[in-house]
Amino acid sequence: MEQTTQVEVKPVNKAKVRHFVKVMLYLAAITFIEFAIAFTVPHEYKWLRIVVFIVLTIFKAYYIVSEFMHLGHERRSLKMTIILPMLFVVFLIFILIFQAHAIFQVLY
């Protein structure tokens, strides 16, 4: 018994390709801005650079999760099941950093 399968090639969905290129260019632009800031802003503005990097990284992470993980097209309840625990973890990290700083000042 010989089985033959036929493969049908579908044409490229140009709207999806355009959307992918748009997302890629958006992420590349944010990365270019990060590199420009890293190499042009003097080291005297250390905290400003750190804050800008964190904000731009959060924008990139949101866009990646929204587009490539398709979370941007989901219902609000599913988004909250992912975003709220992440916010709690970030809040925990900030609390731990401030507590470590306070303990470090007391001990040394």
* Residues spanned by the domain of 95: 76-108
Which residue ranges of the chain lie beneath pLDDT 50? none
| Angle (nearest 5°) at CA 57 between 55 and 62 | 95
Q: What is the pLDDT of residue 20?
A: 87
In a domain, 2, yes or no: no
Residues 17, 67 share a domain: yes
Residues 82, 58 share a domain: no
Q: What is the pLDDT of residue 1?
A: 62
Q: What is the pLDDT of residue 64?
A: 86
In a domain, 1, yes or no: no
Residues 88, 68 share a domain: no
Q: Mind giving me the DSSP string for 38-69?
A: HHHS-GGGHHHHHHHHHHHHHHHHHHHHHHTS
In a domain, 53, yes or no: yes
Residues 93, 65 share a domain: no
Residues 55, 25 share a domain: yes
Tens of pLDDT, residue by residue over 61-70, are: 888 888 887 7
